Amino acid sequence: MSQTTIHVEPDNRGAWLVRHDAERVSEHMTATEAERAAFQAARRFSATSVLMHDRYRRTREIAVSARS
């Protein structure tokens, strides 16, 4: 079984994007909204984690099971 990750990252216009592989899943005005959408997408795509990218290029990984 391959490990699938959902990414939340800022774009250059100030919005927050939720991605699954290279596909854009959704766009949000705040990081909090994007994080919520990422966990919904994680359940839909059977992803194992959400990787949060901040505006300073830092990342943190959150296990999907931690938010179930």
| CA 15 to each of CA 10, 12, 33, 58: distance values in angstroms, whole numbers, following the listed order | 6, 7, 10, 17
Check residue 2 and give its pLDDT: 53
* Pick from 13-17, 35-39, 64-68: least confident: 64-68
pLDDT at site 4 = 86
pTM of the model: 0.87
State the virtual CA torsion across 39, 43, 47, 48 in degrees, nearest 10: 70
What is the per-residue pLDDT for 40?
95
Q: Where are the domains of the chain?
A: 5-67
pLDDT in tens, 23-47: 999 999 999 999 999 999 999 999 9
